[in-house]
Structure 1
Amino acid sequence: MQTSLSRFIHESRALMQLSIPIILTQLATQAMGFVDTTMAGQVSAADLAAIALGGSLWIPVLLLLRGVIMALTPVVAYHRGAQDFGSISVEFFQMVWLALISSTLLIIYLISAEPILQWIGVASEIIPIASDYAFALAFGVPGIALFYTLNGFCEGMNNTRAPMVISLLGLLVNIPVNYVLIYGKFGFPELGAVGCGWATSLVYWMMSALLLSYIKGHHHYKTIIRLSDAKPIGSKMVYLLKLGLPIGMNIAVCGSIFAVIALLIGRIGAENVAAAQIALNISSMTYVIPMSVSFGITIRVGHSLGAKDELGAIERSKIGILVAGLISLIAITIFLLFPDWLIRLYTTDAAVSATAATLLVLTAAYQFSDAIQTSANGALRGYKDTKVPMILAVASYWGLALPLGVVLGLTDHLVPAMGEKGFWVGILTGLTVAAILMLLRLRYIVKKQSALPNDLAPAN
């Protein structure tokens, strides 16, 4: 018993040492969007709307790009565990090429924002600002892709602190750059919301340059990354794309379901939408923690598999999932004990607060399931199993959670229409099913891996 406890404490400490910097990195990048929104909102309603519309075009593809590049982390972690540093250099440069190709496609997409917005039917006075904002973001796409690639390398090498420090620095720089470009200070033109786009691009280029300089100057990393491995290899890029595309689709498609739910709740009433938005925003902030822990689990499991330590990979998967579940209990406790305090951060409206309080209780109910399914997915990424988990997640969200939410919330088919609470019951059900399916998939992959001890190829 003591041995098991000591192993749990040791692995939990190692996991959190990896995950806490990732949490801070995620919060820093999210905070950049918050800063953009609040500062642009001080200019005009049109500028605020332009940020929202530009973001609606940009965020899904950004998540897709981020997910594709995330494939580098388990690959590097695996090779690091195997002490195969030559393969790390090759895989790194193939991801750089893949990121650059993806960036080209995203740049074309963003500079085409104006006809896309016209086709959607956006108000004419907003289109010029939103399209210029998207154009400004297009300038920074290669810098963003490069930063994510360098970040993936560092994470795979068990180093999450350097990206954290640079992300926090980027957040600090983003505020004054926003101020100068939005409001036209120190001789610069007043760009409004468009200034946010240029600030984001400039800051990410700065962050990429800093992280690249760090890696080039690191006593160990500079011996791993060799320019002689920079030649593009089509088969390697296809392999990384097959591994990363399901991750990106998983993140982008499943993340978008909450936007769809907000739109559907709009049929009920403005107060209902406001209450739902409060609960969803709080939930999205707490989700950063299990998501970051899942990244840590991916790294730890990848290291073990690279070192041919299958039992270690199994133990790290189990302990990681358990740690994520235990951490979720903190959020559950806060949601249940202090709902009024949380809601007052958003509104003092009595009707909205009452509805939001009810939704926060239901939000607390799915925190544990969300932590389990997210952490199990992280373990599966460590095993390089990404395609089936994507299918399971999409089926749980779009095949179960959303349809059930619509039936319970907007119709009388099963019970009298529950309104926004019906959608939360759908989310709870979908996440619980996702957690069960992810655990079953992990169990299957572990058994498959144990049956083939000398074959550590991707499980897809």
Structure 2
Amino acid sequence: MEELHQPIPEIRQPLIQRTLTEWKTLALLGGPILIAQIAQMANGVIDTVMAGHASAEDLAAVGIGSSLWMPLFLLFMGTLSALQPIISGHRGGGLFSRIMPDTWQGIYIAAGASVLMILLLVNVRPVLDTLRMDSHTAFVTQGYLSAFAWGIPAMLLMAALRGLTDGLGHTKVIMAFSVLGTLINLPLNYIFIYGKFGLPAMGGIGCGWATSISNGVAMVALLVYLSRSRTYRHYNLITDWVKPHWQEISLILKLGVPIGFTIFVEASMFSVIALFLAPLGPVIVAGHQIALNVVSLLFMVPLSIGMALTLRVSFLIGARAPDTARLLSRSSLILAASVALVFALLLFLLASPIAQLYTNDPAVQDVSISLLVFAALFQIADVIQVTCISALRGYKDTRVPMIIMLFSFWGLGLPLGYALTFTDMIVPAMGAAGFWIGLTGGLASASILLGIRLFGYAPKPA
């Protein structure tokens, strides 16, 4: 897992060569991030599939439990992701003495977030009662979350330490331990869900225990690696320990909370749309979920490019190379748009085969095929907005982008989607397609406003 640090740009190179060099650096940073993101998505797929083979109640319980913990985790993970541009900026500016103190402040934030998240999830029964779930499903859901809660400190500690490893340009580290966690989760699910090796069959509750243990093992393995790796001999968690410094913690939160809230707003909006579509029947909901799952999978590529872009821009600002940071930020839009166009074309051409991979139900296939056409347009707007917001995060500009995303999603996209789906205010009610058009409109708004913000932003050198 030894890697070269991010290179200092050579400003004497021709413009095209400089651009291609920066794109190559993005690929080297973003490739491992992509694998890590896919590994983390695979955990959810594994839990869903294996719980579904246990019983419908277990599948429902794991699904509901996941919908409760995932937005909270994304909120805190997004907050902790502020460490990545901070540490990358320190690395670019040669401020090595500030790296471990900031890492420790992130660890303290992760500890506080763990306590809060655990308290919320182990006391979720009133929420389940409000949903009027049947008693068995509610029991399994609470059991799943109570077991899952034991692994929360490991998840958030890994998110904090990702700020250190990714911030130093070592994106393969989290990739390796994310894959390790997924590989452990699969057999543990099999053992705990179905009751193997003398253990009782736990059903959906077993998913929670499997996830907690796999997260814990991956976290311990990461700590062992960081303590023994030659790469990190200058960054020792124990000997470089520092006390909580509230001013530094507040600076991290000032940068990170808008990131976490932005991610939370986007994730929660998709949950709200799923609830809105429920009255339209299971066929519509199933077709919507297929389209959403396909888009989410494809989104891992531009998301990984965006995360790498955040690291690289913050490094360049720290290295006092703002011209190269500006070149990379703007040229990445060309790269991202190219990726989006390829994905959009694939969705247009392969909508029917994709739908057939997910279901044999002709009615669900027809709905998903029609929505995948809209998803192709959605993909283009989504890729452009994530590229713009990722570059701005590299500049440590997070508050205004948060406001833009809040307006675009909740002020424009969701109301427009609701009006198109259920009312005749604009056109005759369109059903689920209306929400996809509304989402695309919201993302187009975000893309334009974030693009204006990015092109007009003048950061101060670190």
TM tier, smaller? over 0.9
1:7 matched to 2:35? The reply is: no
What residue number does 2:257 align with? 245
Shift of residue 8 of structure 1? 2.2
Counterpart CA distance in 2 for 1:130 and 1:347 is 26
Q: 1:141 aligns with which of 131, 136, 152?
A: 152
Shift of residue 175 of structure 1? 0.7
Unpaired runs of 5+ in structure 2? Answer: 1-12
What residue number does 2:165 align with? 154
Q: 1:391 aligns with which of 403, 408, 422?
A: 403
1:99 matched to 2:90? The reply is: no
Residues 172-228 of structure 1: CA deviation (Å, up to 9, x unaligned) = 111111111112211223211111111111111111112222222222422134534
What residue number does 1:419 align with? 431
3-state SS, counterpart of residue 8 of structure 1: helix
Counterpart CA distance in 2 for 1:138 and 1:366 is 35
Native 8 Å contact 2:65 2:144 kept in 1:
yes
Shift of residue 422 of structure 1? 1.4
Q: Which amino acid aligns with 1:18?
A: L
Native 8 Å contact 1:150 1:212 kept in 2:
no
Shift of residue 233 of structure 1? 0.5
- How many residues are treated as equivalent by the alignment? 449
1:55 matched to 2:63? The reply is: no
What residue number does 1:23 align with? 34
1:356 matched to 2:368? The reply is: yes
3-state SS, counterpart of residue 14 of structure 2: helix
1:70 matched to 2:86? The reply is: no
Shift of residue 385 of structure 1? 0.9
Native 8 Å contact 2:100 2:240 kept in 1:
no
Q: Which amino acid aligns with 1:248?
A: G
3-state SS, counterpart of residue 418 of structure 1: coil
Native 8 Å contact 1:324 1:372 kept in 2:
yes
When residues 311 and 379 of structure 1 are mapped into structure 2, their CA distance, relative to the original with a 3 A threshold, is: same
Counterpart CA distance in 2 for 1:372 and 1:78 is 24
Counterpart CA distance in 1 for 2:133 and 2:375 is 33
Moved more, 416-425 or 217-226: 217-226
Counterpart CA distance in 2 for 1:105 and 1:420 is 36
Matches within 5 A, 1:301-380: 301-380=313-392
Native 8 Å contact 1:409 1:421 kept in 2:
yes
When residues 384 and 225 of structure 1 are mapped into structure 2, their CA distance, relative to the original with a 3 A threshold, is: farther
Counterpart CA distance in 2 for 1:328 and 1:214 is 37
Q: TM-score, normalised by structure 1?
A: 0.95
Native 8 Å contact 1:11 1:319 kept in 2:
no
Shift of residue 21 of structure 1? 0.9
3-state SS, counterpart of residue 267 of structure 1: helix
Counterpart CA distance in 2 for 1:443 and 1:427 is 24
Counterpart CA distance in 1 for 2:284 and 2:152 is 36
Native 8 Å contact 1:94 1:233 kept in 2:
yes
Counterpart CA distance in 2 for 1:4 and 1:348 is 51
Report the aligned-residue RMSD.
1.5
3-state SS, counterpart of residue 426 of structure 2: coil
Native 8 Å contact 1:150 1:208 kept in 2:
no
Native 8 Å contact 1:85 1:224 kept in 2:
no
Q: TM-score, normalised by structure 2?
A: 0.94
Q: Which amino acid aligns with 1:129?
A: V
Counterpart CA distance in 2 for 1:394 and 1:33 is 27
Residues 244-270 of structure 1: CA deviation (Å, up to 9, x unaligned) = 111111111112212222222223333
